[in-house]
Amino acid sequence: MESGKPFARIPIPYGSSSLDLILPEERIAGVLRSRVNDLRPEAAGGELVRRALEAPVGSSRVAELARGKKRIVVITSDHTRPLPSRVTLPPLLEELRRGSGCGDGEIALLIATGTHRPMTREEQVARFGEETLRRVRVVMHEATVEEEMVSIGRLPSGGPCEINRIAAEADLLVAEGFIEPHFFAGFSGGCKSVLPGIASRSCVLGNHCAEFIGHPKARTGILEGNPLQTDMLFAGEAARLAFVLNVVLDRDHHVVAAFAGHRVKAHSAGCAFLRDLASVTAAPAPVVVTSNGGYPLDQNIYQAVKGMTGGEAACIPGGVIVMCAECRDGNGGERFVGEFRNASGPEDVLARIGARKRDETLPDQWESQVLARVLSRHAVVLVTEEKNFADARTLGLIPAATLEEAMARAEARMGVAAPVLVLPDGVAVIVEPAGTTERPTEGTFVA
């Protein structure tokens, strides 16, 4: 360090801990954080959830909806999402039981894995707790098991709308989830619990086609005009998703706000609330340092692409994104990496995927497509475990064992005095470049 100059120390989430970015203060162009972490809720998370359930948006209370229902299904998130179900699920189950009169074991908990792997027993216990698991029937959605899928129509995009049979045959279908900015769906939560959450493989592939992922409205914070959301809304209605409980979380995954009620109206209210807190503005910088907010969102390189898109929105063309992601579980899937094998570069990957029609979509190509888009505009240095270096190189990333090494690589490209913009949690913010005259559509997508 140079003597006489003030330095800043900025923690960057990494796995279950953090890395310290240490730079001269004069080089820091800005530190962009969601203001969600500044909230001081007037009640604990469980109480916020209860209040939301007692005053639903655009809907009767879920206890009233459950009256007389015998086959109740609750969709919930899988291990790739930090939803604090030990806090959110008990009040929801209590309301459902009070309305329906269902006893223990008569409510099914459908885990929305989308196209991810199933949750392990240990992960289920950590997420839900032994008591909850004893009182409900747990069903793991497996998108590739065709006999467990039921057709409920055709999506606006033309693809099949197929969902898990248990959900399709439910007397009452509800969902719990959380709202965060999403790199191509706009926001998580709402009808995303149905598509891709409990949809068939072919349904997910059609919705995640190259045409839609490449659409200019398929970006963080945009709902209206987003073709993926159009399909998701249809799937939610066709599935008869009657009620949602969506929460907003801080950096420690504590509930700071809760929204319950109609699948679209409650979700829209939550998205509007979060947009006000998550929107950040900055002039693009030559170097951007970011992360996926730590574990579980940085558990593999596949998931880490999300944080890279936050860096993409804040970096100048030709600049360097330093992405901090532990990736303890490796690359996230051979199909994701496979798109880059034998490719001449990101442009080649984009051309190959872009040539595929909606019904020719391959599993995980959307993540490869977004990564290739980022790499076609920026160099990305990935701070990760050494076991991931070979896969990182195959994907066109520059691996680094430490944040200091990564910064040295960025400075070798952009200069030792290059300004640095810091997004400690790249998936928590909606980056709008300074000078933008047209804001993305607000989170008020009401059917």
Domain residue extents for the chain: 7-31+283-433, 38-277
Model confidence pLDDT, tens digit, residues 357-389:
998 999 999 999 999 999 999 999 999 999 999
Q: How confident is the model at residue 3 (pLDDT cuts 50, 70, 90)?
A: low
- Whether the pLDDT of residue 252 is over 90: the answer is no
- Whether the pLDDT of residue 446 is over 70: the answer is no
Please give the positions annotated as active site: 116, 182
pLDDT at 442: 36
- Whether the pLDDT of residue 35 is over 90: the answer is yes
Whether pTM exceeds 0.75: yes
What is the three-state SS of the chain? Answer: CCCCCCEEEEEEEECCEEEEEEEEHHHEEEECCCHHHHCCCCCCHHHHHHHHHHCCECCCCHHHHCCCCCCEEEEEECCCCCCCHHHHHHHHHHHHHHHHCCCCCCEEEEEECCCCCCCCHHHHHHHHCHHHHHHCEEEECCCCCHHHEEEEEECCCCCEEEEEHHHHCCCEEEEEEECCEECCCEECCHHHHCCCCCECHHHHHHHCCHHHHCCCCCCCCCCCCCHHHHHHHHHHHHCCEEEEEEEEECCCCCEEEEEEECCCHHHHHHHHHHHHHHEEEECCEEEEEEECCCCCCCCCHHHHHHHHHHHHHHEEEEEEEEEECCCCCCCCCHHHHHCCCCCCCHHHHHHHHHCCCHHHCCCCHHHHHHHHHHHCCCEEEEECCHHHHHHHHHCCCEEECCHHHHHHHHHHHHCCCCCEEEECCCCCCEEEECCCCCCCCCCCCCC
pLDDT at 105: 61
CATH superfamily membership of 38-277: LarA, N-terminal domain (3.40.50.11440)
Q: What is the mean pLDDT of the chain?
A: 93
Q: How confident is the model at residue 432 (pLDDT cuts 50, 70, 90)?
A: confident
Q: How confident is the model at residue 439 (pLDDT cuts 50, 70, 90)?
A: very low
CATH superfamily membership of 7-31+283-433: LarA, C-terminal domain (3.90.226.30)
Model confidence pLDDT, tens digit, residues 154-174:
999 888 999 999 999 999 999
Average confidence (pLDDT) over 312-338: 96
Average confidence (pLDDT) over 265-276: 97
Q: In this prediction, what percent of the chain has a pLDDT beyond 90?
A: 88
Lowest mean pLDDT among 134-138, 173-177, 373-377, 438-442: 438-442
Q: In this prediction, what percent of the chain has a pLDDT beyond 70?
A: 96
pLDDT at 2: 53
